């Protein structure tokens, strides 16, 4: 049994695309007479924090002093997000945009299998984004680790300015990236792409040596301290100036990968915020990802699961 590290000194600010994950669970017993699709009789409904809010949920669950800066609508779903954040004791800095609806991902589950996902989303307005950037600059001195959770929904249009401001104050900046242009993340401390995201930027690779060259070139081009590549069943690989460290995947049954990246970056942020070395923090984040994929939907891990 490993000793449980103290994360009471971890002060983590999560910024990014805030979502509400809704789950409708039901029984499937027949095919619709209208079309060759299953009929799901809904028996239970559940709501969970998604996107950047799920990162905050994971960080506070590990004991970090956690803040969340993002945008939601002035609607019932935004109220639900705020209520859950309050219950979890996350410091909520939500901007309520009356011109948009809160991002919702609705998943229909039948017989423990996801049958359908319906997305409701609108990008935030320019006025709200300007207010958010001002608020970010105000909050920076209160936190030590900044997590930028980019789901490409429009909340991190100003990410370059955020990284510059955080660097100027000596903050540790972790980015979960999205999109076709990683140059806007230049100057961050650690980038955490998955295989598909990295391949989209640097192209495919045939060998491990080829991957290392591509990953290290990207790390140097973006002036990163490290690049942490999440590789699904292949585990994770950490690329730094001095070393390449590989962490094999935990031998667990994969049940649901949704939200696993959120758990990885939240765990990494919390461990780094407590003063843990990067390699050790990455190893624990890999373990956390292996645990959470064995749970249904966006989920969290506990310290007892990680270190017990």
Residues recognised as catalytic: 262
**In 10 A of CB 220, how many CB atoms?**
12
Beta strand segments in the chain, E? 11-16, 18-31, 38-51, 65-73, 91-97, 103-110, 113-120, 145-149, 172-176, 190-191, 226-230, 236-240, 244-247
Cα separation values, 287 from 60, 235, 252, 284, 304, Å: 18, 9, 10, 5, 12
In this structure, what is the dihedral angle of CA atoms 266, 267, 268, 271, given to the nearest 10 degrees? 120
Instruction: Give the residues across from 93 on adjacent strands.
Output: 69
Distances, alpha carbon 109 to alpha carbons 20, 34, 45, 254, in Å? 16, 20, 10, 17
In sequence order, the 6+-apart residues with CB closer than 8 A to the CB of 78 are: 72, 94, 96, 102
Length of the chain: 308
- The rounded distance, in Å, linking the Cα atoms of 14 and 55 is 7
Backbone torsion region of residue 115, taken as left when φ is above 0, otherwise alpha when ψ lies between -120 and 50, otherwise beta:
alpha
């Amino acid at each position: 049994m490993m000793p449980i590290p103290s994360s009471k000194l971890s002060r983590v600010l999560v910024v990014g695309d805030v979502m509400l994950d809704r789950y409708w669970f039901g029984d499937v017993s027949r095919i619709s007479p209208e079309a060759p699709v299953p009929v799901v009789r809904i028996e239970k409904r559940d709501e969970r924090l998604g996107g950047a809010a799920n990162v905050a949920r994971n960080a506070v669950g590990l004991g970090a002093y956690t803040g969340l800066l993002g945008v939601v609508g002035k609607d019932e779903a935004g109220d639900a997000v705020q209520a859950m954040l309050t219950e979890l004791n996350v410091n909520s800095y939500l901007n309520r945009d009356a011109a948009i609806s809160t991002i919702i991902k609705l998943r229909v589950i039948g017989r423990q299998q996801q049958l359908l996902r319906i997305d409701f989303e609108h990008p935030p307005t320019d006025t709200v984004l300007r207010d958010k950037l001002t608020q970010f600059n105000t909050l920076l001195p209160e936190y030590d680790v900044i997590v930028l959770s980019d789901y490409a929904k429009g909340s991190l249009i100003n990410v370059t300015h955020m990284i510059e401001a955080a660097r100027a104050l000596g903050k540790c900046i972790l980015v979960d990236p999205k999109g076709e242009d990683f140059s806007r993340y230049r100057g961050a401390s650690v980038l955490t792409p998955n295989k598909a995201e990295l391949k989209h930027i640097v192209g495919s690779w045939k060998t491990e040596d080829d991957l290392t060259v591509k990953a290290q070139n990207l790390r140097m081009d973006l002036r990163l301290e490290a690049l942490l590549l999440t590789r699904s069943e292949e585990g994770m690989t950490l690329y730094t100036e001095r070393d390449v460290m590989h962490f094999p995947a935990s031998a667990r049954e994969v049940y649901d990968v949704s939200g696993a990246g959120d758990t990885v970056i939240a765990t990494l942020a919390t461990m780094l915020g407590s003063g843990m070395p990067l390699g050790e923090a990455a190893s624990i984040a890999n373990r956390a990802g292996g645990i959470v994929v064995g749970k249904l939907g966006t989920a969290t891990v506990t310290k007892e699961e990680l270190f017990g």
